[in-house]
Amino acid sequence: MANDLMNRFDFDPFFDRMARRLFNSSDYDRDFANFGNLKTDIKETDKDYSLKVDVPGIDKNNIHLAYQDGVLSLNINQERSNEQKDDQGRVIASERSHGVMSRSYQLPGVDKNNISAQINDGVLSVTLPKLTESNQDNGNIEIQ
Backbone φ, ψ for residue 38 (5° rounding): -85, 100
Identify whether the C-beta of residue 110 lies closer than 8 Å to the C-beta of residue 129. Answer: yes
Span 38-129 CATH architecture: Sandwich (2.60)
**Per-domain residue ranges of the chain:** 1-33, 38-129
Length in residues, the chain: 144
Tell me: the pLDDT tens digits for 71-81? Answer: 999 999 887 77
Model pTM score: 0.61
pLDDT at 100: 85
Cβ-contact 38, 55 below 8 angstroms: yes
Report the candidate in 62, 54, 70 with the shortest Cα–Cα distance to residue 115: 70
